[in-house]
């Protein structure tokens, strides 16, 4: 395929290198900032890419919601397939982008937007062909897993574990998006949409790990438990619930042993049962590999859309995520929404123990 790549950071460079080395694909354009757009094929003018009728597929590897979202729209309107790594932009305009793609008979693929190299989206789409998906949950953020793993393994406190994550490049200088659960929020929306074939709400409880302390982890460890930040999503018939929260786990749970900045996603289908997928949720080379696999799937025609995939109208029902919440040493029962609200009001850490998942 003839391909344009928007963005030339770490991931973009790896994607471009793979495409340049490929016999099947042709890298036509690289969108780069004006001062850096000096090499052949580079341009700072996105309209040259969108107006090039030979470009069949646009790879969006830009950071931030804008102009990534607008560029994806332009590409789909111009009849080009889109592959994106940008979860914020994808969540911002999920329905609009999907409907544009469907109207144009185009593919919109987003494997790398949802857990880096881990084949969550492809597996969800494949399972959804033969299964009713009943739940999607797990460790969807490498930064927070790294911090908690560091605290668990080395007895570190929160602040030095965060600094170590920043030193290693796993956490941003401003780590808010990771620590607050916002990054996981976007991933669980995208995966829930894909699993349940609907457009899920983006208004649901989100609790992060900003208030996590050594003492809290020690308390759970003494009870044979630990805590990991989870994206959570369940469906029962026509109803669903979504949330993001630190989840209490027994020490023999697989999730309790996910090391460093790795992720572990669980998909539950009514026939396949639970399938868990583990791998690098970030990183230049692994994420670029997921982008190229999306391109390959589109090129092989195996990713062609089959009509209105996101056609279901499900109802958001927060009671489907209920259980116990540990807040400041006290155990409460309620929905995750209620427990999140209480933790927020008290400015304390919430550890959520789902009654059912």
Alpha-carbon span 238 to 231, nearest angstrom: 20
300 near a copy of itself (CB under 8 A): yes
Contact in structure between 49 and 58 (CB atoms under 8 Å): yes
Restricting to residues 18-57, name those near a copy of itself by CB under 8 A. Answer: 18
Restricting to residues 59-118, name those near a copy of itself by CB under 8 A. Answer: 117-118
Q: Which is nearer to a copy of itself, 66 or 153 (CB)?
A: 153
> Measured from the CB of residue 119, what is the shortest distance to a copy of itself in angstroms?
6
Q: Which of 219, 279, 305, 334 binds a copy of itself (CB under 8 A)?
A: 279
Q: What is the CA radius of gyration of the chain?
A: 21
- Give the contact letters, 142-171, x = binds to a copy of itself (CB under 8 A), - = no: -----------x------------------
Contact in structure between 336 and 323 (CB atoms under 8 Å): yes
**Residues belonging to the active site:** 187
341 near a copy of itself (CB under 8 A): no
> Measured from the CB of residue 344, what is the shortest distance to a copy of itself in angstroms?
33
269 near a copy of itself (CB under 8 A): yes
| Beta-sheet strands, E only, within 73-195 | 81-84, 108-109, 133-139
Residues whose CB falls within 8 Å of the CB of residue 308, separated by 6 or more in sequence, listed in order: 102
Judged by CB under 8 A, the number of residues near a copy of itself is 44
- Give the contact letters, 228-257, x = binds to a copy of itself (CB under 8 A), - = no: ------------------------xxx-xx
Q: Of 51, 113, 83, which Cα lies nearest the Cα of 43?
A: 51
Alpha-carbon span 123 to 40, nearest angstrom: 37
Residues whose CB falls within 8 Å of the CB of residue 135, separated by 6 or more in sequence, listed in order: 233, 234, 235, 266, 267, 268, 357
280 near a copy of itself (CB under 8 A): yes
Contact in structure between 285 and 138 (CB atoms under 8 Å): no
259 near a copy of itself (CB under 8 A): yes
Q: Which of 23, 173, 222, 301 binds a copy of itself (CB under 8 A)?
A: 301
Residues whose CB falls within 8 Å of the CB of residue 222, separated by 6 or more in sequence, listed in order: none
Sequence length of the chain is 357
292 near a copy of itself (CB under 8 A): yes
Q: Which of 47, 302, 311, 356 binds a copy of itself (CB under 8 A)?
A: 302
Alpha-carbon span 239 to 12, nearest angstrom: 39
Buried residues in 241-265 as b, exposed as e (16+ CB within 10 A): bbbbbbbbbeeeeebbebeebbbbb
> Measured from the CB of residue 304, what is the shortest distance to a copy of itself in angstroms?
8
123 near a copy of itself (CB under 8 A): yes
Phi and psi angles of residue 155, each rounded to the nearest 5 degrees, phi first:
65, 20
Segment lying near a copy of itself (by CB under 8 A), choices 82-90, 164-172, 223-231, 297-305: 297-305
> Measured from the CB of residue 103, what is the shortest distance to a copy of itself in angstroms?
21
Give the binding site for a copy of itself (CB under 8 A). 18, 117-119, 122-123, 126-127, 129-131, 153, 252-254, 256-259, 264, 269, 271-280, 283, 285-286, 288-290, 292-293, 296-297, 300-302
């Amino acid at each position: 395929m003839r391909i344009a790549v928007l963005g030339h950071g770490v991931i973009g460079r790896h994607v471009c290198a793979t495409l340049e080395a490929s016999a099947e694909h042709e890298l036509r354009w690289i969108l780069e900032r004006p001062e850096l757009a000096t090499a052949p094929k580079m341009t700072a003018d996105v309209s040259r890419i969108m107006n090039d009728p030979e470009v069949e597929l646009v790879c969006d590897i830009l950071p931030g919601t804008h102009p990534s979202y607008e560029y994806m729209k332009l590409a789909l309107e111009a009849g080009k397939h889109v592959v994106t790594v940008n979860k914020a932009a994808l969540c911002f305009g999920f329905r609009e982008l999907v409907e544009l793609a469907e109207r144009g008979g185009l593919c919109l693929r987003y494997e790398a937007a949802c857990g880096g190299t881990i084949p969550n989206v492809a597996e969800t789409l494949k399972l959804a062909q033969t299964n009713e998906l009943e739940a999607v949950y797990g460790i969807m953020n490498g930064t927070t897993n790294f911090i908690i793993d560091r605290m668990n393994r080395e007895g570190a406190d929160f602040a030095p574990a965060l600094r170590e994550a920043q030193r290693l490049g796993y956490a941003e200088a401003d780590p808010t998006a990771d620590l607050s659960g916002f990054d996981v929020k976007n991933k669980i929306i995208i995966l829930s949409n894909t699993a349940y074939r609907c457009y899920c709400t983006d208004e649901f409880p989100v609790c992060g790990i900003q208030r996590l302390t050594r003492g809290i982890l020690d308390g759970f460890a003494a009870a044979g438990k630990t805590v990991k930040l989870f994206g959570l999503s369940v469906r029962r018939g026509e109803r669903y619930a979504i949330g993001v929260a630190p989840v209490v786990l027994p020490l023999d749970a697989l999730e309790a042993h996910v090391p460093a900045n790795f992720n572990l996603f669980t998909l539950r289908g009514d026939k396949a049962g639970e399938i868990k997928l583990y791998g690098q949720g970030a990183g230049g080379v692994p994420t670029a590999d997921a982008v190229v696999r999306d391109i390959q799937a589109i090129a092989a025609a195996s990713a062609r859309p089959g009509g209105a995939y996101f056609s279901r109208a499900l109802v958001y029902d927060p009671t489907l995520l209920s259980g116990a919440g540990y807040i400041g040493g006290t155990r409460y029962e309620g929905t995750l929404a209620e427990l999140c609200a209480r933790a927020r009001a008290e400015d304390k850490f919430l550890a959520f123990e789902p009654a059912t998942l």
